Amino acid sequence: MIVSCPACGTKNRIPDDRLKDRPKCGKCGSPLPPVTMPDRPVHVTDASFGGEVLSFPGIVLVDCWAPWCGPCHMVAPVLDQLAAEYQGRIKIAKLNVDENPGMAARYSTQSIPTMLFFKGGQLVNRLVGALPKNQIEEQIRTLLV
C-alpha cells in the first residue's frame, strides 16, 4: 500500500502485513494516517487507476461496468457483499467504461460486465458476464492461496 505523508508529502510503501502497526513516514518520521481496505467497492478512473489498482500490492478485482448495462446492475450487489466479506484481504474497484475509455481499451474490455483480477499490479485473470457469486468467489479464493 502506498500512503502519502500528510506532513511532508513523501509517498511511503507499507507492506500489507504492517498496515496495523501505526506506520511512520520514512523521511520525516511523522505518523501516517490509518490505512484500511474499504468494505465497499471504490470507484476508479483512468487517472486514479495506477494508484488504486496497479500500485496496490495485493489483490484487486476491477468491475468494468456502465450505467446503462442491466447485467452490470445485477452484479453490483454481489460485489458489495464480496467487498464486505473479504475486507482486509482484497480490494474491489469499479471502473465506468463510458467515462474511462482509456483503461477499458488498455485491458481490451469488449463486453460488460468484465471483472479484471490483479495481483501485485499485474493482470492475472478476467471473468466476463453477470456471473453468480460462487463463481466470482471461487476466483478470489484461488488468488488468495
Q: What amino acid positions are annotated as catalytic residues?
A: 69, 72
Distance CA 113, CA 68 (A): 11
Total Cβ atoms within 10 A of residue 129? 12
- Return the sign of the alpha-carbon dihedral for residues 101, 68, 41, 84: negative
Q: Which residues contact 70 (CB under 8 A, 6 or more apart)?
A: none
